[in-house]
Amino acid sequence: MDLVIVGSVALDTIETPRGKVERALGGSAVYASLATSLFCRTGIVGVVGEDFTDDHRRLLEGRGIDLSGLESVAGGRTFFWQGRYGADPNERETITTELNVFERFRPRLPEAFLGAGHLFLGNIDPELQLLVLDRFPERPVTACDTMNYWIESKPERLRDVLERSDILFVNDGEARQLSGETNLLRAARSISAWGPRVLVIKKGEHGAHLFARGEGFIAPAFPLEDVVDPTGAGDTFAGGFMGAIAAAGSLEDEDLRRAMVFGAVAASFTCERFSVERLAGLTIEEIRERYDRLAALARFARD
Amino acid sequence: MDLVIVGSVALDTIETPRGKVERALGGSAVYASLATSLFCRTGIVGVVGEDFTDDHRRLLEGRGIDLSGLESVAGGRTFFWQGRYGADPNERETITTELNVFERFRPRLPEAFLGAGHLFLGNIDPELQLLVLDRFPERPVTACDTMNYWIESKPERLRDVLERSDILFVNDGEARQLSGETNLLRAARSISAWGPRVLVIKKGEHGAHLFARGEGFIAPAFPLEDVVDPTGAGDTFAGGFMGAIAAAGSLEDEDLRRAMVFGAVAASFTCERFSVERLAGLTIEEIRERYDRLAALARFARD
């Protein structure tokens, strides 16, 4: 096991100007692991109900993802999210959120997971993120995600998680909320002071910024002509990033930059179909091909 | 004369969260020429009133800008704009627009300007842009800018201008309005079909996209910690771009990419002070130094 992902496994009903899917596979651990599994051996820790089908299981296991940390609650229902996007993919409206079995989720890590060198703590209660961290005899390279809800409700615990993390993923809105700063550079400096030596601020179609050891990197997004469904793009970005980092086995500047671009590329594929439809059949060759195209789009000569 | 700029010369009263200036020098031809003059010999064609002072004139002439095409109307008042920005620099509210002498502006091109190899038609009535184009015995490399108002009121004439232009600058909102497409890639394809072989879509703090001969380039914006006043940033971008193009004397792919980055860098300086305060004292060395910093921020290895 190279990388352990703890996060949500969900069924999503999603409506966009391009169509609708009902109770399709989703959740942060699902999107992230489908991306990381292209780069390294991945196990996920999560919880599902009886409506999580054998087809869902086969889809993930078919990608080599270890599901031994995926608890199934008899008689329970899987975390459910329903949302709608307007013509602007950045505007998303949540119609329903049913936590279901996720409400009482307590991560259970199989012994085989505890030797992993890399850990991605998806957007869950910071208390649970800390419990997971405590389980590892040797601290893995740790990345975490969070959201407005935890920033507001458990800022102290979240700060504890940040102090013990190497990498933090947030989007631009969360970075502003977390820091109280409107300007992204100021926000980044403020957040970096709390612990994570690598900060990734995702800006959707506008790319992403990396802040590490006082250095920075700006990754472009891969431009898409058709954004069918942006659900999971941020989690896929984190997955592509973490997969590339686990494969590189380093947090050196060059590796971080490449990981940013792999994250951007992976996320772009997610947006091209509903749910995990595009991601589920994606190959590392397709990732590499698009990486090269993005490199060509962003290249310019020194003065 | 290497480059002629036709556009507005204005006095601006600007309020931002960082302060306020009253009747400060502005206008598209002013911002653009202050940027181009760092790269090549520049002349501007415009009109001012009696409130355009000797200090204003000295400021521009001190940068080597040829004002022999700047008409002064006795008893007239200079184009005046008053606006206000919120905490988000992208949200701008126009409080007052007084066209004044600009309302009856008819561009008068000195003979010495007609041999220029490069022409930048700032955001003015497309009828006037066509009149200017007709004056040149040999068509210079021509760039044009436009705005929502002309897109709505004179779409046919604007199309004529586009057919005779090499380069079009628009911002993302204008590209969407001009094409009727929400998606920027689709918008770019639609607009490119009308004539300009080089299309630049500016996205403010999110950088800019270049579309040329089916190829693309994504330029990052230079990240700023303090945005004091974004007025004129788009015109400065166009100026930095056109100055670099005139200096290179080519529209080859490499030169277009470098011009995009010079545009982004020049625009970033404009935002750091009110009005033209930062631009007026800027050196080409500062531009080059920031170009290198932006190159370092955007660099990543091929896969």
Which of B209, B216, B261 has its CB closest to that of A300?
B261
Q: What domains appear along chain A, each with residue ranges and CATH number?
A: 3-298 (3.40.1190.20)
Write down the pLDDT at residue B148: 80
Nearest CB partner across the interface for B292, out of A182, A295, A302: A302
Residue written as token pair 């909320």: A177
Q: B58, exposed or middle or buried, with CB in 10 Å at 0-12, 13-18, 19+?
A: exposed
Q: Which positions in chain B touch A302 (Cβ < 8 Å)?
A: 292, 295
Residues of chain A neighbouring B227 (CB-CB closer than 8 A)? 183
Q: Which residues pair with B16 in a beta bridge?
A: B19
Residues of B in contact with A182 (CB under 8 A): 87-88
Residue B147 predicted with pLDDT over 90: no
Across-strand partners of A202?
A171, A208
pTM of the predicted model, to two decimals?
0.95
Q: How far apart are CA A204 and CA B49, in angstroms?
A: 46
Low-confidence ranges of chain A (pLDDT < 70): none
Helices (H) then strands (E): counts for chain B: 10, 13
- Closest-CA residue of chain B to A189: B225
- Interface pTM (ipTM) of the complex? 0.94
Residue range B197-250, pLDDT digits in tens: 999 999 999 999 999 988 899 999 999 999 999 999 999 999 999 999 999 999
CA distances A131 to A47, A106, A155, Å, are 16, 9, 16
Residue B149's pLDDT band, with cuts at 50, 70 and 90, is confident
pLDDT at B256 over 90: yes
Q: What is the pLDDT of residue B202?
A: 97
From residue A272, give the alpha-carbon distance in Å to each of A222, A226, A241, A267, A298. Answer: 11, 6, 19, 9, 21
Interface A-B, measured as beta-carbon pairs within 8 A, has a size of 92
SS3 of residue B100 by DSSP: helix
> Which pLDDT value is given to residue A45?
98
Task: Write out chain B residues lying below 8 Å of A261, CB-based.
Answer: 300
User: How far is A287 from chain B, CA to nearest CA, in Å?
Assistant: 10
Give residue A213's identity as a one-letter amino acid code.
R
**pLDDT tops 80 at residue B303:** no
CA-closest candidate to residue A277, choices A237, A228, A240: A228
Interface of A with B in 71-90 (CB under 8 A): 87-88
Whether B223 has its CB under 8 Å from any CB of chain A: the answer is yes
What is the Cα gyration radius of chain B? 18
Q: How confident is the model at residue B150 (pLDDT cuts 50, 70, 90)?
A: confident
Say how far apart CA A207 and CA B261 lie, in whole Å: 17
B275 Ramachandran zone, left/alpha/beta (phi>0; psi -120 to 50): left
**Stretch B113-121: mean pLDDT:** 98
Nearest CA in chain B to A224: B185
For residue B267, the distance in angstroms to the closest alpha carbon of chain A comes to 17
Q: Tokens 């990981």 map to which residue? A: A259
Distance in Å, alpha carbon of A213 to nearest chain B alpha carbon: 13
Give the nearest partner residue to B302 out of A184, A295, A300, using CB atoms.
A295
CA atoms A102, A106, A111, A115: torsion sign: positive
User: Which of A170, A295, A123, A130 lies closest to A220 in space, CA to CA?
Assistant: A295
Predicted local distance difference test score (pLDDT) of residue A195? 78
**Percentage of residues in chain B having pLDDT higher than 90:** 88
Q: What was the pLDDT predicted at A148?
A: 80
Residues with Cβ within 8 Å of B196's Cβ and at least 6 positions away in sequence, in order, are B144, B162, B165, B166, B167, B168
Q: What is the pLDDT of residues A137-190, one digit of tens each?
A: 999 999 999 888 888 899 899 999 999 999 999 999 999 988 999 899 999 999
The answer to whether the Cβ–Cβ distance between B220 and A224 falls below 8 Å is no
CB-based contact (8 Å) between B284 and chain A? no
Q: Chain B residues with CB inside 8 Å of A223's CB? A: 184-185, 209, 216, 218
User: Is A154 within 8 Å of chain B by CB?
Assistant: no
Closest by alpha carbon to A38, among A272, A295, A267?
A: A267
A68 and A59 in contact (C-beta within 8 Å)?
A: no
CB within 8 Å: A258 and B301: yes
Nearest CB among B223, B258, B288 relative to A301 is that of: B258
pLDDT band at residue B195, thresholds of 50, 70 and 90? confident
For the cut 90, the answer to whether the pLDDT of residue B104 exceeds it is yes
A299 contacts chain B (CB < 8 A): yes
Rounded to an integer, the average pLDDT of B106-133 is 96
Q: Which residues of B touch A207 (CB under 8 A)?
A: 206-207, 220
When CB atoms are compared, the residue of A207, A225, A299 closest to B186 is A225
User: What separation in angstroms does the CA of A270 have from each of A35, A80, A231, B132, B177?
Assistant: 9, 19, 8, 48, 28
Contact A291 B303 (CB under 8 A): yes
3-state secondary structure chain A: CCEEEECCCEEEEEEECCEEEEEEEECHHHHHHHHHCCCCCEEEEEEECCCCCHHHHHHHHCCCCEEEEEEECCCCCCEEEEEEECCCCCCEEEEEEECHHHHHCCCCCCHHHCCCCEEEECCCCHHHHHHHHHHCCCCCEEEEECCHHHHHHCHHHHHHHHHCCCEEEEEHHHHHHHHCCCCHHHHHHHHHCCCCCEEEEECHHHCEEEEECCEEEEECCCCCCCCCCCCCHHHHHHHHHHHHHHHHCCCCHHHHHHHHHHHHHHHHHHCCCCCCCCHHHCCHHHHHHHHHHHHHHHCCCCC
The structure tokens listed for B139 are 């068509």
The pLDDT confidence band at residue B89, using thresholds 50, 70 and 90, is confident
**What is the model's pLDDT at position B2?**
97
Is residue A25 within 8 Å of A11, Cβ to Cβ?
yes
Interchain contact, B297 vs A216, CB within 8 Å: yes
Tens-digit pLDDT profile for residues B24-63:
999 999 999 999 999 999 999 999 999 999 999 999 999 9
Q: Does B138 touch chain A (CB under 8 A)?
A: no
Whether chain A has a CB inside 8 Å of the CB on B248: the answer is no
Partner A contacted by B206 (CB < 8 A): yes
What whole-number distance in Å separates Cα of residue B156 and Cα of residue A105? Answer: 62
B154 in contact with chain A, both atoms CB, cutoff 8 A:
no
Q: Which of A185, A218, A253 to mutate to test the interface with B (most CBs of B within 10 A)?
A: A218
SS3 B54: helix
CA dist., res. A180 & res. B83, Å (int): 26
Smallest Cα distance from A75 to chain B, Å: 44
| Contact of B241 with B200, CB cutoff 8 Å | yes
Short-list A168, A163, A182, CA closest to A123: A168
